A and B are shown apart, each in its own frame.
Chain A
Amino acid sequence: MADQSKLGFEFPVYTFTVEKEKIIEFAIAVSQKENKEQINPIYYDEEAAKKAGYQGIPVPPTFLTSSFFWTGGGLIGTANILGIDLSRLLHREEEYEYFSSIYAGDVITRKMKVVDMLKKGTGKKSVEVTVLEAELINQRGELVLKSLSRLIEI
């Protein structure tokens, strides 16, 4: 059962570099390809990206969720902090708001906090909801992406 005292909890701030090879690996995974020659060249060829109107190699739309797993002991560490039982955990909803493009080589600082914790229903039908908000800020101090993740325990 999620630890209700964690409402408002702010996770340690985490900074990471957006690695080009990681973007390629991710783009291959979500397009179910075998190698980079089969994916959209904007994800591996800087010239192709610039021709397509990007200032560098961009990231796929859901790429930055991965940063969640690279930090604070990853999913298991985060679940432990929040007192969530991993075997009952379901991801219910995910939302991204994009403010600016993110490119390979950017240094991103992630600030994540618990913005809501509630219980819905009663008895065996009840579910507990935890909502995490993450703000991603680039090396120029610009907010580039905000995400909301709604997790439930059944």
Chain B
Amino acid sequence: MTVNYDDIEVGNKMPVYTSEPITITHLVRYAGASGDFNPLHYDQTFAKVIGMKNVIAHGMLIMGIAGEAITSWIENKYLRKFNVRFLSMTEPADWDDMENTKDRATIIVSGEVVKKFEENGEKIIQCDIIAQDALGSKKLSGFFIAALP
């Protein structure tokens, strides 16, 4: 269902999007899809060599999940700008301890409309977004701008 400009008010919340707990399998899939084969994202032995205790998710996977969250609400074709700052790293969940590790690997994307205006005949909204894990640690913050019907 298309979201129209007239349906949106400043202060409206974007529907909250909750990811699956990210596992190394998701990181390998993203590595293959994106071509980002930095071993830091899937090879534990490499992570250890550079002094990290675990592999970490690609920042761009977290942004990709945020993009999926946005386009589950506002159609892709209406996006005009999408900006994020990466705030912290994300460790994947461990299959052998899923119960205790899934929260650090579950990404929750939320957002709030902060501006609404017409410019050059386009109906524009700006929505601030934030992605955090299920423990409350912030992964990225940013905003998107969309021109709506």
Contact = CB atoms under 8 A, between A and B. Distances in A.
B148 interface: no
B86 A90 contact: yes
B5 interface: no
Interface in A68-116: 69-70, 74-76, 86-87, 90-98, 101
Nearest to A150: B85
A118 interface: no
A62 B67 contact: yes
A32 interface: yes
Contacts of A135: none
Contacts of B64: 26, 29-30, 60, 62
Contacts of A30: 30, 33, 61, 64-65, 67-68
Contacts, number: 105
Interface residues of A, number: 36
Given A30-B67, A53-B77, A74 B35 contact: yes
Interface in B26-45: 26, 29-30, 32-38
A42 B2 CA distance: 14
A93 B82 CA distance: 11
B65 to A, nearest CB: 6
B137 interface: no
B83 A93 contact: yes
A46 B22 CA distance: 30
A26 B33 contact: yes
B113 interface: no
Interface string B17-59: 0011010001001101111111000000000001000000001
A74 B81 CA distance: 25
Contact of A69 (B37, B75, B83): B37
B33 A42 contact: no
Given A58-B76, A94-B60, A66 B26 contact: no
Interface of B: 19-20, 22, 26, 29-30, 32-38, 50, 59-61, 63-65, 67-68, 70-71, 75-77, 79-86
Given A26-B64, A28-B33, 12 more contacts: A29-B33, A30-B33, A30-B68, A52-B77, A54-B77, A61-B67, A61-B79, A66-B36, A74-B37, A75-B38, A92-B85, A98-B80
